[in-house]
Structures are given as C-alpha cells and as structure tokens.
Amino acid sequence: MTSHPFAARIAARLSFAVGTAALLAACGTRQPAPPEPPPPEATARNSVVMSAVTYGATAKGIQLKKEDDACDVPASLRQAVQDQLLEPYEYLLAPPPTANAEGAPVLKVEITDLLANAGGLYGGPKIVQLRGTLERKGEAPARFTAERQMFIYFGMPRSTCSMVGVVTYALGEDIAKWLQKPVDGALLGELSTAAAKR
C-alpha cells in the first residue's frame, strides 16, 4: 500500500519530463520568424516638420509665458498632432528634418490664449487658442486659427490638466485634418462652428 503513492509520484514525474521534452523538441524544430519589414523612412512627402510650439500674445496684448501653463500644452499638443496624423503624413519631425525629409512642410504653432485655472471642473472652463502657419516649398504660407474649450465633463471628476489634455487632443485632430487640405485663413475647432452659425 505504501508503494502505490510512491509509484504514482514517479509516473507523474516521468509523464511531466516526457511532456517537457516533447515540447522542447517541437520548439526546436520551428523555424525562426521572419524579421518584420523595416518601417518606411521619413521623406519630404510623408512627413511634417513641427517647430517647437511657442507662447504668443493674447488678443488683449498679454504675452503668455511658460509660467502661465502648468499643464505643458506644447508637449500635449505635439503628441496629439502626432497621434492623429492622416495620410499622406506618417511622421511628425522635429527640426531640422533628416536628409531624406528635407523640403517637408513646416508647421509652426503658437498659443494665443490659455485658460486653465486650478481646481479641475470647479476651476471654471479650460480654453486653448492657437494660431498656426504651414510653410511649403514653392507655395504661399497657409494659416489657421483654432480654439477648443471644455466647460463641463460628465463622469468621473477630472483634474485641470486632464481636462486641458482633452482640449489639446481635440485641437490635434483639428490640425491633422487641416493638414489634409491646408486652406489659408481657416478657422478650426469651435471657431469654425461659430463662423458657420453667422
């Protein structure tokens, strides 16, 4: 009787060893996966060069500064544009562009108004206003003005910077769409809606 459990343990260990050996043998016969093709390179046709986002002056002539921006709008705006680029653009490059991408369009954006009081929902509306210019070789510059804001958010309470992040993400989408057909003097975001109602 005492030898039966011992024999069962030996059989279980042998079974495990045989299974492991079979698995290792099967793995050893598999061919290595072919390497993934390298991503296409950034060129002047599939890239946009985005200069560092700067702080401009408001309509009332107040010069905005980094100290006015606790949420780092330039970084989140750049990421938002990069995440939402549409064909033919695949790459958002920092200047200077690579040799292959020389001659790519250059996007310059400045923040012309920023309201992001602390307190999340209780700190009032979050507003970001931008002015941008697209410079292309052999063509006149195309300019846009954009604005997005957030007053109310339904759901879990949000911090000030997460609300500003929602605003900049929407602006990134507006800019990515405008890059498809960059009309000079375009009004993006809520400014286009307001203009359509006039």
Note the pTM of the prediction, 2 decimals: 0.76
Higher pLDDT, 9 or 40: 40
Q: Is 176 helix (H, G, I), strand (E, B) or coil?
A: helix
Q: What is the mean pLDDT of the chain?
A: 83
pLDDT at residue number 48? 96
pLDDT at residue number 102? 92
Nearest-angstrom CA–CA distance, 74 and 92? 14
For 171-187, what is the mean pLDDT?
A: 97
For 51-78, what is the mean pLDDT?
A: 95
> What are residue 110's DSSP bridge partners?
54, 131
- On the 0-12 / 13-18 / 19+ scale of CB atoms within 10 A, 140 is exposed
pLDDT in tens, 17-63: 555 555 445 444 455 566 655 556 899 999 999 999 999 999 999 99
Most confident stretch, 29-43, 87-101, 120-134, 177-191? 177-191
pLDDT at residue number 177? 97
Least confident of 6-20, 35-49, 63-77, 156-170: 6-20
Q: Tell me whether the omega of the peptide bond preceding residue 96 falls within 30 degrees of 0, making it cis.
A: yes
Beta carbons of 163 and 120 less than 8 angstroms apart: yes
Long-range contact pairs involving 128-132 (C-beta distance under 8 Å, separation at least 24)? 128/73, 128/77, 128/164, 128/167, 128/168, 128/171, 130/77, 130/171, 131/56, 132/107, 132/108, 132/175
